Chain A
């Protein structure tokens, strides 16, 4: 099986999961919200207010904080490296059904950790060569979060698959993660079977929103 085929199967599984959740959520959104008796004193409000989530300056600043990671390098042992993460799109199946499940870039901890699927982009500085330019790895992938305890705010897990490009070398990676403290603190293990120099990456994920 070629590299593309290796990536295809896990990606397809997650995409099918995504479609199932999407269809079920569409169905759930048709629930009638006009079920209570509100005698409005100021202005009528028969629907719920969507949060105006946006990438604030401080949010951007927090996203610049990298997650430290160690990579296992053949014949050299462990090396320190860094990872950043961006979520272009997230679909939450843990958010209340009466609100939009979609998030662009910014996702609140409960919205993400209580069950969601996200597309992610990850620049990583691997510290494998002496030149700064040749140390960058870029990956894009899809990740599913599941709540494990207290709606995911105390404990949640994730599974992901991604496709990476490191100096022209491309391949698929598999990742498992576990998260505490509203998802701010996490541990991720990434395995890239075709990356001979450093197949394992262990990340202490620091992420605030």
Chain B
């Protein structure tokens, strides 16, 4: 059984890298699949060039996929930074990054959730190396982080890093830690989620995770009153294979509830081709789930790539939504 799972993982790695051409051909035309390789990413108009918001206690700018620039008061945190046009050489992004790397501010912490090519991109870190103060990675992940001048910290589950009041804790997720497929045999610990705490604000970053019936309840218990949870909502298909590793919109809402998060912001969709999901399917499914669950757009904040949202203003009292 184990070799079979590893073969599936390798296939998944190849699918990531070959733009899912073969699979997407089942839903799209062959012409569309081939032409996507030659299309430029969609340009964004009026991109934000100064993302620091003096009026914000908590704001997030969605850069695309799992890359989000989080501002908590005067601290800036960037998650899973990927700014390259392609990941894995052949998988091209649909939309350009929501902010240009040269417009990034000084980053107090950069978080890497796991080693997959659309989450850990050394080429992207090269683009703004001088702006990074600290890089946090899951335990065992350093082997895929080349030499840099900034400080690098490996965190085990429930381990906490602290600097100037900014507290970041590695929390469990349901995913895997390989980068190339075959390394699944020994990369057993290099995936994580994070809880970021600063001046009584708490943000959960899930990176890429499937549902698990203990991890999120336990995280919620240890970190009550999470203000915002950034959670993946795709790939949705094929569910029978990916449910353990990838949350769909329905499980993202469930995870958010078990975390006790006041708000959910979906990530990890419509940026790179990575499954048989169609563009827009994840958000459409999420909106349908929101209707079913009577969730408002304040409780589930769907941002466009490049959009920045202030969740808590400096002069605003925290509210339980």
Partners in one complex: yes
Which residues of A are interface residues toward B (Cβ below 8 A)? 28, 35-43, 45, 48-54, 56-59, 62, 94-99, 108-111, 114, 150-151, 153-154, 180-182, 208-209
Residues of B within 8 A of A150 (CB): 84, 122-123
A38-B180 contact given A45-B154, A58-B3, A59-B185, CB 8 Å threshold? no
Residues of A within 8 A of B147 (CB): 28, 96-97
- A208 B182 Cβ-Cβ under 8 A: yes
27 A–B contacts from the bound complex (CB under 8 Å): A36-B134, A36-B151, A36-B153, A37-B161, A37-B163, A38-B161, A39-B160, A41-B159, A49-B154, A49-B189, A51-B186, A56-B182, A58-B3, A58-B6, A58-B185, A95-B143, A96-B142, A96-B143, A96-B147, A99-B142, A108-B183, A110-B146, A110-B179, A151-B146, A153-B89, A181-B88, A208-B180
B-side interface mostly = mixed
Residues of A within 8 A of B169 (CB): 41
Counting CB contacts under 8 A, is B139 at the interface? Answer: yes
A37 CA to B169 CA, complexed, in Å: 13
- B163 A51 Cβ-Cβ under 8 A: no
Counting CB contacts under 8 A, is B145 at the interface? Answer: yes
A186 CA to B162 CA, complexed, in Å: 44
Flag B150-170 by CB within 8 Å of A: 1 or 0 each: 011111111111110000010
Taking the closest CB of chain A, its distance from the CB of B227, in whole angstroms, is 21
- B154 A53 Cβ-Cβ under 8 A: no
Residues of B within 8 A of A108 (CB): 143-144, 179-180, 183
Residues of B within 8 A of A181 (CB): 17, 88-90
Interface centre among A28, A50, A95 (most CB of B within 10 A): A95
A45-B182 contact given A150-B123, A181-B17, CB 8 Å threshold? no
A49-B163 contact given A96-B145, A97-B147, A154-B89, CB 8 Å threshold? no
Counting CB contacts under 8 A, is B7 at the interface? Answer: yes
Residues of B within 8 A of A56 (CB): 6, 182, 185-186
Residues of A within 8 A of B162 (CB): 37-39
Residue in B closest to A56 when the chains form the complex, CB atoms: B185
- A151 B159 Cβ-Cβ under 8 A: no
Taking the closest CB of chain A, its distance from the CB of B157, in whole angstroms, is 7
Taking the closest CB of chain B, its distance from the CB of A80, in whole angstroms, is 25
Taking the closest CB of chain A, its distance from the CB of B138, in whole angstroms, is 10
A95-B146 contact given A38-B160, A39-B162, A109-B180, CB 8 Å threshold? yes
Residues of B within 8 A of A154 (CB): 89, 123
A151-B143 contact given A36-B151, A36-B161, CB 8 Å threshold? no
- B158 A42 Cβ-Cβ under 8 A: yes
Residues of A within 8 A of B154 (CB): 45, 48-49
Residue in B closest to A35 when the chains form the complex, CB atoms: B151
Residues of A within 8 A of B105 (CB): none
Flag B85-117 by CB within 8 Å of A: 1 or 0 each: 000111000000000000000000000000000
Residue in B closest to A54 when the chains form the complex, CB atoms: B186
- B185 A45 Cβ-Cβ under 8 A: no
Counting CB contacts under 8 A, is B187 at the interface? Answer: yes
- B186 A52 Cβ-Cβ under 8 A: yes
Residue in B closest to A184 when the chains form the complex, CB atoms: B180
Residue in A closest to B121 when the chains form the complex, CB atoms: A150
Taking the closest CB of chain B, its distance from the CB of A180, in whole angstroms, is 7
